Structure 1
Amino acid sequence: MIIVRDIFQLQFGKARDVIELIKEGRELFKAAGYPIDRVLTDITGEYYTLIMESRLENLSELETVLGNPPAGWRDIYARIVPLVKSGRREILREVE
């Protein structure tokens, strides 16, 4: 099992806007086999941090979805991009 964390630093004051857009996209990704299991925001540390966390069986599942994003995602993505300062992805193996 792998855990994928997409970690975003958002523009100041834009967390609620991004969360609403993620809610729109969540069902699209779930239908495509890439569930967004958790959406997390900061309590401490760097302000306006948002994390989307997904659990997948293997890297092949991730490659499939990233290579062929669900219909409608590009529109949501285009609306998210201006609200994000930076981002990164962590891919972890679940050991227990």
Structure 2
Amino acid sequence: MYVVREIFYLQFGRFKEAKAMFEQANSLGLMKMPEGGRILTDFTGESYRFIFESPYKTLADFEADLNREMSAEAWKEWYEKFKPLVRHSEREILKQIS
């Protein structure tokens, strides 16, 4: 089992706007979370983050989801509007051992 975390560090003061964009993407079906996936935000630590945490049985499953999501034209249009809200991002891929 693998856990993929997509971490977006938002521009200061843009949290509400980014949250609204995530809600829009969710309502349009642009970001389909696998079962057991969740969206988190910071409570302590560096502020203004959105964290998508998704479990996958294999890395091939993750790659298939990523390719399907990123090749959709509606997702590309949405993402171009979302990028100005982000300072930077990172991806963590963790292997669950117990």
TM-score when scaled to structure 2?
0.80
RMSD of Structure 2 on Structure 1 (CA): 1.9
Q: Following TM superposition, by how much is the alpha carbon of 1:41 offset from its aligned partner in structure 2, in angstroms?
A: 1.1
| TM-score, normalising length: structure 1 | 0.82
Count of matched residue positions in the alignment of Structure 1 and Structure 2? 93
Q: Which moved more, 1:81-90 or 1:5-14?
A: 5-14
* Identity percentage of aligned residues: 39
Counterpart CA distance in 1 for 2:30 and 2:50 is 19
| Matched letter for residue 11 of structure 1 | Q
Q: Which runs of 5+ in 2 are unaligned?
A: none
80-89 or 70-79, which deviates more: 70-79
Structure 1 range deviating more: 77-86 or 14-23: 14-23
Question: Structure 1: which 5+ runs fail to align?
Answer: none
Q: CA contact under 8 A between 1:42 and 1:48: conserved in structure 2?
A: yes
